[in-house]
Amino acid sequence: MLPSGPALAEVATATVPGTGSPVILELGPGTGAFTGPIQRRLAGAGRHIAVELNPRFADQLAARHPTVDVAVADAAMLRQVLAQRDVGRVDVVVSGLPWAAFDEKLQRDVLSEVVAVLKPGGVFTTFAYVHARWAPPAQRLLRSLRSRFEEVVVSRTVWANVPPALVYFCRRPLPAVPPAVPRELAGNSG
């Protein structure tokens, strides 16, 4: 696959505020296709933390964007990454992760971390390729997003990207629901 193109980057980063001092978390920045647009939107304000698993990509990204706090880490450990930086929750998470390549457990673990680190009014954006939208991993991702966010909006197709893609805008993370306790284990309160 080619890196995401400028048209996709503009759509995927549209939720990054251009005012205030937001904390933005970028997942899987790779070669930095979304990093530049995030930096332009922030215009020197706020904080931009990028989590990249590949040390070579992370070094290149840090050299190209010195104001970005680049963490060489797994996206399934976001709370730890943020705790090391004295950051509780973030305003926006922008993901360039290859969801279709993730097994069900990794997809679940990363999404659980995303929900855990987002502020209640936070936004998570990620993308999928149109040609793979109906494949089982992509369907699993969409079901997972809908179960974790109050609102999931799918963008129009970004035809200018190669291959064409769409962006999921996920707003207002839902609180984790603890598993139900079977009635016989709950005890008798009466």
> How large is the average pLDDT for residues 126-134?
90
84-110 b/e with 16+ CB inside 10 Å = b? eeebeebbbbbbbbebbebeeeebebb
Share of the chain above pLDDT 70, in %: 91
pLDDT one-digit tens code per residue, 3-54: 688 999 999 999 999 899 999 999 999 989 999 999 999 999 999 999 999 9
CATH 3.40.50.720 fits 6-172, yes or no: no
Q: Which of these, 17, 8, 66, 5, lies nearest to 43 by C-alpha position?
A: 17
Q: Is residue 131 scored above 50 in pLDDT?
A: yes
Alpha carbon distance 4, 185 (integer Å):
51
Domain-by-domain residue ranges, the chain?
A: 6-172
Q: Is residue 190 scored above 50 in pLDDT?
A: no
- Give pLDDT, residue 79: 97
77 neighbors 107 (Cβ within 8 angstroms):
no
Structure-token match 């980057």, residue found = 9
How many Å from the N-terminal Cα to the C-terminal Cα in the chain? 62
Greater pLDDT, 135 or 149: 149
21 neighbors 45 (Cβ within 8 angstroms):
yes
97 vs 30, 177, 183, CA distance in Å?
9, 25, 40
pLDDT one-digit tens code per residue, 51-105: 999 999 999 999 999 999 999 999 999 999 999 999 999 999 999 998 888 889 9
Q: How confident is the model at residue 189 (pLDDT cuts 50, 70, 90)?
A: very low
> How large is the average pLDDT for residues 117-137?
92
> How large is the average pLDDT for residues 112-126?
96
- Give pLDDT, residue 1: 52
Q: Is residue 177 scored above 60 in pLDDT?
A: no
104 neighbors 72 (Cβ within 8 angstroms):
no
Mean pLDDT of the chain: 90
- Give pLDDT, residue 30: 92
- Give pLDDT, residue 67: 96
- Give pLDDT, residue 134: 85
- Helix, strand, coil shares of the chain as percentages rounded to 5? 35, 25, 35
